[in-house]
Structure 1
Amino acid sequence: MEPTDPTSGLPFIDEHQVRVVAPAPNTWDALTTWIARTHLGVSSGFAHLVDAEPRSVTGTLPQQGSTIPGFAVAESVRGKRLTLVGRHRFSHYALTFSLADHPDGTLLIARSHASFLKMPGALYRGLVIGSGGHRVLVRRMLRDIGRSAESRGTARAPV
């Protein structure tokens, strides 16, 4: 039986990518460390306020089933793909990170899918997506992860 696509049924929102001058293992480690450290900017308090599921940290990222506020790991293929899913009173959503080989290192891609629920969801979509805020935050996130990956393993050995 083929695994189900965690983004199935969720409309595509957007895709952003950054070229990372680092190998895929460094990029993967930077990605998962960044997510575990920042929780993608979602606090437990905010998750509770919007009635998000999940609301807290469980397990160890990037293991499938582990969670951070607002997101659960639905798919984790080391060095290739990480899909996070969640829901709250305004939306059901998925964020998929993919890593692809690139002549200069790794291409790190973030794809967003979401459905927005009724009128409050439409207003939330306008606030988050329509304002351009989502685009700005995702691009910043990818740049930060890329810089972190590029700095891994570049420390010089003592002379």
Structure 2
Amino acid sequence: MHSTTISAPPEAVWRAVLDQVEVLGQPSWYVRTIGCRDRRSSGPRPLAPGSVVPGFRVMTADPPDCLVLDGVHRFSVYTLTFRLISDGTGTSTHLPDATSTRLEAHTDATFPGVLGAVYRLLVIDSRIHRVATRSILTRIRRRVQPV
């Protein structure tokens, strides 16, 4: 699990999470190369169960608390869960009338077969996945709380 604290209420962070999820499947060549089940955006907007973005399908959307995405490609079956937890204080150094929100990103995946094991080595064990997940959280934070 990875997390960051954002000086904004959960509703503002939720909107930024949805905006960022809409672009998760970029670059599209990667989605095609690894054979993702879901290659094109479709379904309801704003994101709701059944919505699709390249590489992911929305399984749960409980605004502004939890968004669960799942995906399948030729090397892995995975979920990505975003949880938003308000600190409930109503104070913030950047937004005096807003609460801070802890944003957590949790991934879970299986890597079937020999090719799955190789993919896990290349993406997970090399820490590329960790860097990518931290980057997603950073982009969400910057959307809501510009530097």
Structure 1 distance, partners of 2:136, 2:126, is 17
Q: Secondary structure at the match of 2:41?
A: coil
Give a deviation string over 1:102-130, Cα, whole Å, max 9, x none: 24500000000000011100000011110
Please give the TM-score of this superposition, normalised by the length of structure 1: 0.80
2:22 pairs with 1:27: no
Asked if structure 2 preserves the Cα contact closer than 8 Å seen for 1:65 and 1:73, the reply is: yes
The equivalent residue for 2:33 is 49
Matches within 5 A, 1:1-159: 15-36=1-22, 38-43=23-28, 45-59=29-43, 60-102=45-87, 103=89, 104=92, 105-151=100-146
Asked if structure 1 preserves the Cα contact closer than 8 Å seen for 2:38 and 2:55, the reply is: yes
Give a deviation string over 1:43-86, Cα, whole Å, max 9, x none: 1x332322211111102241110101110000000100000101
Structure 2 distance, partners of 1:41, 1:150, is 23
The equivalent residue for 2:95 is none
Asked if structure 2 preserves the Cα contact closer than 8 Å seen for 1:17 and 1:109, the reply is: yes
Structure 2 distance, partners of 1:92, 1:72, is 12
Unaligned runs of at least 5 residues, structure 2: 93-99
Worse overlay, 53-62 or 112-121:
53-62
Letter in 2 for 1:85: D
| 4+ residue segments displaced more than 4 Å | none
Letter in 2 for 1:24: P
Query: Percent identity of the aligned residues?
Result: 34
Please give the TM-score of this superposition, normalised by the length of structure 2: 0.86
Unaligned runs of at least 5 residues, structure 1: 1-14, 152-159
The equivalent residue for 2:97 is none
Q: Secondary structure at the match of 1:108?
A: strand
